[in-house]
Chains A and B, each alone.
Chain A
Amino acid sequence: MSSGLALALALVVLALALGVAAARPRYLPVSAVVGGGLLVAVGAVGLSRAGDTLRGLAPTVGFLAALLLIAEGCRREGLFEAIGAVMARGSHGSAQRLLALVFMVAVGVTALLGLDATIVLLTPVVFATAARIRTSSRPPVYACAHLANSASLLLPVSNLTNLLAFHDSGLSFARFGALMALPTIGVVGVEWVVLRRFFASDLRRPRKRGGELARPTIPRFALAVLALTLVGFALSSLLGIAPVWVAAAGAAAITVPALRPRTTSAVALARAVEPGFLLFVLGLGVIVAAASDNGLASAVRDVLPRGASLPDLLAIAALSALLANLVNNVPATLLLIPVALASGPGAVLAMLIGVNVGPNLTYVGSLATLLWRRVLRAQDTDIELGEFTRLGLLTVPATLVTATVLLWLSLQV
């Protein structure tokens, strides 16, 4: 098969897989696995290359599964209910205070448990808290949606994109966090300033304090497991242990005790690790490998700067953000990693800034998702979120530049 034809086929398969993911998530593993299998069968990608890709992705997929189990364990232990109760009490009925608390909590949850936890587990709690203290839910919910992306820079576990890049980056867990600390602080600062102004009329209204709220029960066990896991991550390179084993230990510590008194079932746990999505990532890896090998990688190599100067890093971040907005940030990362890796850790981290912060521009994470949802009429009751796009236009360019400049500064030390 000519490489031109193979590239065209791989891109069609990629587009279809993304379409299914966007509009019919139930068939998502099938689409990627069948698509990847088809590309192997027609020879668009060699069997051994496909095998290498799968072997390369396997530790990352395992890592993700462990993190999902930890997040599920935290939910089971009541961490998110406790967070809701703490926020309700701490806000004293003030929308401003609630927003400040949501910022702190969303940054922490995103950094430690990943963006999925913020979107799936924290956002409903924040929504309920706003309803409970009778204040507008718009500022805190927008804050969750934005911070799930923009605070996901900090640690390798904060975003699947980070995990995908971390494995081959040559950075230790602690070094990754140290380099991304300043960019994260900068990005969160920008979000705070912009959101405060954007929702000024929602936040300005002072109000009287409501009735007494119940004292939250602090889930000590879940917090202890989280703290120990984080310490384990930080020390992993000193101890010579791959961070994935630390995650596995954390997942086991929070899951095994729940199995004995039957507070959870094997089925619930199996569902929590998102096996369909893990298969999808593996299949997507093979599809992207086929596209990369047949010309896409060299095209990306021609466009993406190689150096580590500030203008180079800014260009890498901007191009990565653009690509993440066209396709979703997971395929964008798979596509960009090999090229960015060749330019060193600075380029990899700049690429991550782009793919992590960029999706705040389009409210479903990418134009591909948006288009497919339109095409397949899966938009249900989607309303036009012009407001979301306006907010994205205000924050994304500013956060991209701030984070990249701060990354560049961190790299100079």
Chain B
Amino acid sequence: MHALVWIIEDTWQATIAQAAAYLPVDAEITLLHVADTEAEAVARAARHGLLGRHAPVHAQEDQLRAISEQAAAELLSDAQSTLGRPARCEARRGRVEREVVAATEDIDILILARDGDRAHLGPRSIGPAARFVIDHAPCRVLLIWPDPAPPLTTIPPPPEQPPPPSAQSH
């Protein structure tokens, strides 16, 4: 079995702990981190708006990329040592949700954490990136709560019964 464990900054410890608990000992494991390049693109665009002041822009571009790559490498290395089992590390860059789906090729199971509002049970506990991945992954998906799941009482009450259609009263 080849498992892909997608970790994000906020919840990687819980994701790794649950992956270690659920995956069989002989599972082949790949740890994935995707660095979102949107912030870098925004920073670059803002500099182009300066109308030529403080050129060249490329120096800063490289600087931001290096920061981002180093952060990703450190995160993956922390995750690997927390996992305590042999695993391959994969660092990707780009649009997060697309890159994660692209990485699921030839994968049997994807493990990911909810990335939205974790105080309530419900659809908002999944953010836009995880939602896209869950909807598009061509493999089995194990979706975890990074913290203990909120109680069932956090589900809102069912909507009021609609009044019976007036046609039936005849």
Contacts and interface: CB of A to CB of B under 8 A. Distances in A.
A138 B49 contact: no
Contact of B68 (A131, A135, A148, A277): A131
Given A135-B9, A135-B10, A277-B52, A201 B39 contact: no
Contacts of A130: 39
B122 to A, nearest CB: 13
A363 B49 contact: yes
Contacts of A148: 46
Contact of A205 (B40, B64, B67, B115): B115
Interface string A373-394: 1000000111101011000000
Interface string A192-203: 000000000110
Contact of A383 (B37, B46, B48, B60): B37
A26 B57 CA distance: 11
B71 A131 contact: yes
A22 B49 CA distance: 8
A134 B11 CA distance: 10
Interface in B83-135: 115-118, 127-128
Contacts of A365: 48-51
Contact of A120 (B37, B60, B64): B60
How big is the B interface, by class? 35 or more
Contact of A137 (B36, B44, B55, B63): B36
B43 interface: yes
Contact of B118 (A137, A206, A364): A206
B71 A136 contact: no
Contacts of A366: 49
A204 B48 contact: no
A383 B115 contact: no
Contacts of A328: 49, 51
A369 interface: yes
Contact of A145 (B42, B54, B67, B117): B42
Interface string B3-16: 00000011101000
A363 B47 CA distance: 10
Contact of A142 (B42, B71, B75): B42
B38 A383 contact: yes
Nearest to B146: A205
Contacts of A208: 13
Contact of A138 (B11, B39, B55, B64): B39
B42 A119 contact: no
Nearest to A18: B51
Given A127-B43, A274-B54, A138 B36 contact: yes
A382 B47 CA distance: 12
B117 A132 contact: no
Contacts of A202: 127
A39 interface: no
B47 A134 contact: no
Contacts of A205: 10-11, 115-116, 118
A22 B51 CA distance: 6
Interface residues of A, number: 54
Contacts, number: 137
Given A124-B64, A207-B10, A383-B38, A28 B127 contact: no
Contacts of B117: 201, 204
A305 interface: no
- Chain A facing B: main interface SS: helix
B51 to A, nearest CB: 5
B149 interface: no
A21 interface: yes
Contacts of B55: 25-26, 28
A359 B38 contact: no
B49 A364 contact: yes
A144 interface: yes
Interface string A124-152: 10011011101111100110110010000
Contacts of B54: 116, 119-120, 274
A91 interface: no
Contacts of B75: 134
A123 interface: yes
B70 to A, nearest CB: 8
B39 A127 contact: yes
A385 B41 contact: yes
Contact of A21 (B37, B51, B128): B51
B67 A131 contact: yes
Interface of A: 18, 21-22, 25-26, 28, 95, 116, 119-120, 123-124, 127-128, 130-132, 134-138, 141-142, 144-145, 148, 201-202, 204-208, 274, 276-277, 280, 328, 330, 359, 363-366, 369, 373, 380-383, 385, 387-388
13 contacts: A18-B51, A21-B52, A22-B51, A119-B49, A123-B43, A123-B46, A124-B60, A135-B9, A138-B38, A141-B42, A145-B45, A204-B116, A207-B9
Given A21-B51, A274-B54, A383-B41, 16 more contacts: A22-B48, A25-B56, A28-B55, A95-B10, A127-B43, A137-B36, A138-B38, A141-B42, A204-B117, A207-B11, A280-B52, A365-B50, A381-B41, A382-B45, A383-B38, A385-B45
